[in-house]
A and B are shown apart, each in its own frame.
Chain A
């Protein structure tokens, strides 16, 4: 969990190291906006703005939703609400644990089957 959160933090800090992206966050703090709105506002190409929004999105600072032909950007989910972040921390931990437990269950199943087959061979 610690490493996951650190990776998220690194992404967040990298995302806000850029002046345009900080401006975008500030803008979205006032109101949701489409990528086109943001591109106009910051006087850049649509492609350029898409890239910036992509970085912010990967860091979890911005979410986007496409309705029809318009992609709307808003702040979130970090600030995740505190409770959601807390649950997410626990979920990451258990999910990582259980993925590895899956592997062990598969391994034990294979082993037991092999024992069964070997046992049968012996009694034959």
Chain B
């Protein structure tokens, strides 16, 4: 047992790639150092899912995480926010164990994306591809904005313009 532990490769951090594949599609890929059934488990068990979906560094707290992972089943995540809690919810359209998940994102009404996640085992690793398909270009454009941050960036931009920093920039 000890010998085996020593011979294990040190886990290395894999690269996350993000690509805007088309006007309406966002694709995120990442390889994980584990078999597909384990990675899939982390996406489908609420007690595991809630531990990584909201990274600690975000400082957001998740009030509840309910997931009924089966075709037609629903999920609902509620975050602490002011003035009132913020909910994200939708329905699972496809569930193929250890291989594929498709869910809707219904909190944004008609602007919600369809999320498809595939799990592809490659040796001891699993390639995860997350694909968001939005109903329109505008809906995907807006997905990058988180509250006041873009506004603050605009303020900074204006400030830089007044400083003349943008003059002659190619």
Q: Do A and B assemble together?
A: yes
A30: chain B residues at CB < 8 Å are 167-168
Name the contact of B165 in the complex, choosing from A3, A28, A31, A106 (C-beta under 8 A): A28
Of A31, A89, A101, most buried by chain B (CB within 10 Å of CB) is A101
B39: chain A residues at CB < 8 Å are 101, 105
- Whether A41 sits at the interface, judged by CB under 8 Å, is no
Name the contact of A95 in the complex, choosing from B16, B20, B159 (C-beta under 8 A): B16
B163–A91 touching, CB < 8 Å = no
Number of A-B contacts (CB under 8 A): 129
When each residue 137-170 of chain B gets 1 if its CB lies under 8 Å from chain A and 0 otherwise, what string results? 0000101101101001100110110011111110
Name the contact of A2 in the complex, choosing from B11, B17, B32, B146 (C-beta under 8 A): B146
When each residue 1-36 of chain B gets 1 if its CB lies under 8 Å from chain A and 0 otherwise, what string results? 100000000010110111110000010101011100
Residues of A66-118 whose CB lies within 8 A of B? 75, 78-79, 83, 85-87, 89-91, 93-106, 108-109, 112, 117
- 5 A-B pairs whose Cβ atoms sit less than 8 Å apart in the complex: A1-B146, A29-B164, A75-B165, A78-B153, A100-B52
Residue of A whose beta carbon sits closest to that of B168: A30
- Whether B41 sits at the interface, judged by CB under 8 Å, is yes
Shortest Cβ distance from A91 into chain B, in angstroms? Answer: 4
A31–B168 touching, CB < 8 Å = yes
B166–A29 touching, CB < 8 Å = yes
* Number of chain B residues whose Cβ lies closer than 8 Å to a Cβ of chain A: 49
Stretch from B56-64, B68-76, B90-98 forming part of the interface with A: B56-64
List the interface of chain B (C-beta within 8 A of A): 1, 11, 13-14, 16-20, 26, 28, 30, 32-34, 38-39, 41-42, 48, 51-53, 55-60, 130, 141, 143-144, 146-147, 149, 152-153, 156-157, 159-160, 163-169
Name the contact of B57 in the complex, choosing from A26, A89, A96, A106 (C-beta under 8 A): A96
Of A4, A83, A104, most buried by chain B (CB within 10 Å of CB) is A104
